């Protein structure tokens, strides 16, 4: 692993490369994110590298100070007492980092004699040891000796539609074990990389650096559930504990509690009283409401974006769950997101999510989805600072939430804050690699950032995940719309034109799909008239929120000076009484 981790904002990459190369010349092992492996999740690798580093060099600039990811990396380093700071352009580090010394690299072009460089390398040496072969001194806290990976439980129900339930059980057990302070738990997204694979438990333990692995299966039929689980020693492959639970579905929460506590006992870990209470806190005591919540959430994540019937289906399932348990805060939060999207993006539905969000927060102030909906409302009102505050609160409460990261990414993207948008779309696909929509949005974000490697990687995944969905549902317009990016960037232009023509026959009313085709045609087929033909029906009945999004979307930039595009936008703007098009300037 690297001695030194370099953190920076994307526009500062040339400076970061210069600093990293100079540290390597000084004899240090250095890592920065140009070395991200293609097969690993972005955030997981970043966390792993920071954890293993002896020093983290944060390169502050005006762009870096606005980057939530640079701040998060700096905060992680500060907490471990391995933070080294430098300013590239005279920018003072933001609070609370302005209380720590900062080397001045303004104008640094290499060499070892610059005072700022000497200051930086002296701090690195104090933390990581002298370079040129001397043994680095570990400056951060001792790692957990007991660690575990919860592999996704197999769905043994004989019904692929029950996959959401077995996945939900795996995620809940992971969450429960994460509440135990004496135990390090592998992130859900890393564990789910092994879903559906024939695995060697000892090999997984070695790859992930964990001492133990939990595996199991779920069979759900009618009102009964069977769960098997076994805890395996990652070094020897021996079973430390195993059990099978044949119960009524009403006992599902008790089973999860028993599994978590049995693991703690088998690992001989002391469970604090507050941790035991946290494990037992479920949000609902009704298994039917819990099952409906898992179902609704899965339909939302895997659904046909742009088909409002999907949103209405999730809303119906949420409302049914709330009939069973009206105090289930997480369902209120999911309902609020659905209502806000239907109302703002598609100009449908009387409810805009406000009441549902406030209900969620009144039941549990820590429901991140409620803060997401507040952020969406502030964004729609042009109160961007308040939107940022609400998003920051949501991300603080649940940084590993797919819903929170996709909502944050969408708001950032349409403010043309592409680096932040890309970070959160990356996080979304780390949490759920099958999220083809976020892969497609990453294509656009990385295109705007001129990150060609990122575009190529995102396009490849957008196409493969879209094709997977279309194989099961040929009518999924959203998957066709996103897959088009992958086809365009892979150079398969003839197939792309056939793909678009077929999709328009299959799903002519999916305006989101049509819009994505317009983006692809404008960006990669260099055919502005064809792009405008696709865009014109979208703009005839576009919502105000979607209109603002189009006004700021970088995929439309190549069309903005074309008279026909200007006329279409002016006609749409007239409907809203809008004379300024960009949401970032209203």
Same domain, 512 and 541: yes
Domain boundary among 247, 282, 317: 282
Domain boundary among 282, 300, 329: 282
Residue 361 contacts by C-beta under 8 Å, 6 or more apart in sequence? Answer: 329, 367, 370, 371
d(CA 267, CA 265) in angstroms, rounded, equals 5
**Is residue 292 domain-resident?**
no
d(CA 445, CA 454) in angstroms, rounded, equals 9
Residue 478 contacts by C-beta under 8 Å, 6 or more apart in sequence? Answer: 303, 304, 305, 306, 307, 436, 437, 510, 512, 513
Same domain, 259 and 118: no
| 3-state percent helix, strand, coil for the chain, nearest multiple of 5 | 60, 10, 30
| Cβ atoms within 10 Å, residue 159 | 11
**Is residue 425 domain-resident?**
no
Give the residue among 26, 30, 27 at the shortest CA–CA distance from 1: 30
d(CA 155, CA 196) in angstroms, rounded, equals 10
Same domain, 483 and 556: yes
Q: What is the model's pLDDT at position 241?
A: 92
d(CA 198, CA 201) in angstroms, rounded, equals 10
| Cβ atoms within 10 Å, residue 397 | 18
Domain boundary among 96, 128, 160: 128
**Is residue 550 domain-resident?**
yes
The boundaries of the domain holding residue 17 are 4-128
| E strand or H helix that includes residue 347 | none
Give the residue among 463, 417, 468 at the shortest CA–CA distance from 440: 463
Q: Is the peptide bond before 18 cis (omega within 30 degrees of 0)?
A: no
Same domain, 458 and 504: yes
- Give the CATH number, domain containing residue 560: 1.25.40
Same domain, 110 and 153: no
**Is residue 156 domain-resident?**
yes
Contact in structure between 214 and 171 (CB atoms under 8 Å): no
> What is the DSSP annotation of 555-569?
GGGGGTTSHHHHHHH
**Is residue 266 domain-resident?**
yes
**Is residue 421 domain-resident?**
no
Where the chain has pLDDT below 70, the residues are 1-2, 34-44, 99, 130-145, 189, 271, 279-280, 578-586
Q: What is the model's pLDDT at position 138?
A: 33
Domain count, the chain: 3
d(CA 181, CA 450) in angstroms, rounded, equals 42
d(CA 297, CA 369) in angstroms, rounded, equals 12
Q: What is the model's pLDDT at position 312?
A: 93
Same domain, 9 and 105: yes
Give the residue among 113, 131, 178 at the shortest CA–CA distance from 26: 131
Same domain, 111 and 223: no
Same domain, 19 and 124: yes
Longest dimension (CA), the chain: 74
Same domain, 108 and 174: no
Task: Report DSSP state, residue 401.
Answer: -
- Give the CATH number, domain containing residue 153: 3.40.50.10070
| E strand or H helix that includes residue 282 | none
- Give the CATH number, domain containing residue 124: 3.40.50.10140
Query: What's the sign of the alpha-carbon dihedral 277, 282, 283, 284?
Result: negative
Q: What is the model's pLDDT at position 585?
A: 34
**Is residue 137 domain-resident?**
no
Does pTM top 0.85 for this prediction? no
**Is residue 362 domain-resident?**
no
370 exposed, middle or buried (CB, 10 Å; 0-12, 13-18, 19+)? Answer: buried
d(CA 443, CA 459) in angstroms, rounded, equals 6
> What is the DSSP annotation of 7-41?
E--GGGHHHHHHHHHHHHHTT--EE-GGG--TTS-
d(CA 383, CA 34) in angstroms, rounded, equals 35
d(CA 365, CA 533) in angstroms, rounded, equals 47
Q: Calculate the CA 356 to chain-centre distance.
A: 24
Same domain, 124 and 13: yes
Residue with tokens 């579905």: 249
Same domain, 153 and 40: no
Same domain, 82 and 166: no
| Cβ atoms within 10 Å, residue 308 | 19
d(CA 199, CA 113) in angstroms, rounded, equals 52
């Amino acid at each position: 692993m690297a001695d030194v981790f370099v953190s920076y904002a994307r526009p500062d990459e040339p400076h970061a490369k210069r600093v990293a190369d100079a540290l390597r010349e000084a004899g240090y092992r250095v890592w920065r994110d140009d070395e991200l492996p293609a097969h690993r999740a972005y955030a997981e690798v970043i966390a792993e590298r920071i954890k293993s580093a002896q020093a983290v060099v944060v390169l502050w600039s005006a762009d870096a100070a606005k980057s939530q990811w640079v701040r998060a990396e700096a905060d992680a380093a500060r907490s471990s007492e391995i933070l080294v700071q430098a300013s590239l352009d005279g920018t003072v580090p933001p609070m609370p980092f302005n209380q720590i010394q900062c080397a001045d690299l303004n104008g640094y072009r290499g060499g070892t004699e610059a005072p700022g460089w000497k200051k930086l390398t002296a701090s690195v040496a104090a933390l990581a040891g002298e370079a040129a072969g001397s043994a680095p001194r570990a400056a951060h806290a001792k790692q957990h000796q007991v660690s575990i990976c919860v592999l996704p439980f197999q769905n043994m129900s004989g019904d692929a539609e029950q996959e959401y339930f077995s996945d939900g059980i795996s995620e809940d057990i992971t969450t429960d074990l994460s509440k135990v302070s004496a135990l390090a738990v592998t992130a859900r997204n890393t564990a789910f990389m092994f879903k559906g694979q024939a695995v060697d438990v000892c090999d997984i333990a070695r790859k992930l650096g964990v001492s133990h692995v939990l595996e199991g299966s779920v069979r759900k039929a009618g009102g009964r559930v069977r769960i098997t689980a076994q805890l395996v020693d990652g070094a020897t492959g021996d079973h430390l504990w195993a059990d099978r639970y044949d119960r009524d579905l009403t006992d599902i929460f008790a089973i999860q509690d028993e599994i978590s506590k049995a693991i703690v006992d088998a690992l001989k870990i002391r469970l604090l009283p507050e941790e035991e209470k946290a494990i037992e806190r479920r949000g609902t005591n009704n298994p039917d409401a819990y099952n409906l919540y898992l179902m609704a959430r899965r339909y939302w994540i895997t659904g046909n974006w742009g088909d409002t019937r999907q949103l209405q289906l999730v809303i119906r399932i949420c409302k049914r769950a709330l009939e069973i348990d009206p105090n289930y805060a997480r369902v209120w939060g999911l309902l609020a997101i659905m209502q806000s999207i239907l109302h703002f993006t598609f100009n449908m539905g009387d409810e805009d999510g406000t009441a549902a969000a406030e209900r969620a927060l009144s039941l549990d102030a820590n429901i991140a989805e409620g803060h997401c909906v507040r952020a969406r409302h502030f964004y729609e009102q042009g109160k961007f600072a308040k939107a940022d505050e609400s998003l920051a609160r949501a991300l603080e409460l649940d940084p590993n939430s797919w819903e929170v990261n996709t909502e944050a990414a969408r708001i950032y993207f349409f403010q043309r804050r592409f680096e932040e948008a890309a970070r959160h779309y990356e996080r979304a696909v780390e949490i759920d690699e099958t999220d083809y929509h976020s892969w497609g949005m990453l294509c656009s974000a990385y295109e705007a950032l001129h990150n060609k490697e990122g575009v190529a990687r995102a396009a490849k995944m957008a196409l493969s995940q879209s094709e997977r969905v279309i194989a099961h549902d040929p009518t999924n317009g959203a998957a066709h719309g996103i897959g088009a990016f992958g086809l365009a960037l892979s150079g398969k232009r003839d197939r792309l034109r056939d793909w678009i023509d077929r999709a328009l026959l299959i799903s002519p009313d999916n305006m989101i799909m049509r819009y994505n085709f317009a983006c692809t045609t404008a960006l990669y087929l260099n055919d502005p008239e064809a792009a405008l033909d696709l865009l014109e029906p979208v703009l005839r009945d576009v919502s105000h929120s979607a209109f603002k999004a189009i006004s700021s979307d970088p995929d439309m930039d190549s069309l903005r000076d074309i008279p026909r595009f200007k006329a279409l936008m002016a006609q749409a703007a007239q409907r809203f009484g809008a004379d300024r098009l960009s949401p970032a300037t209203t």
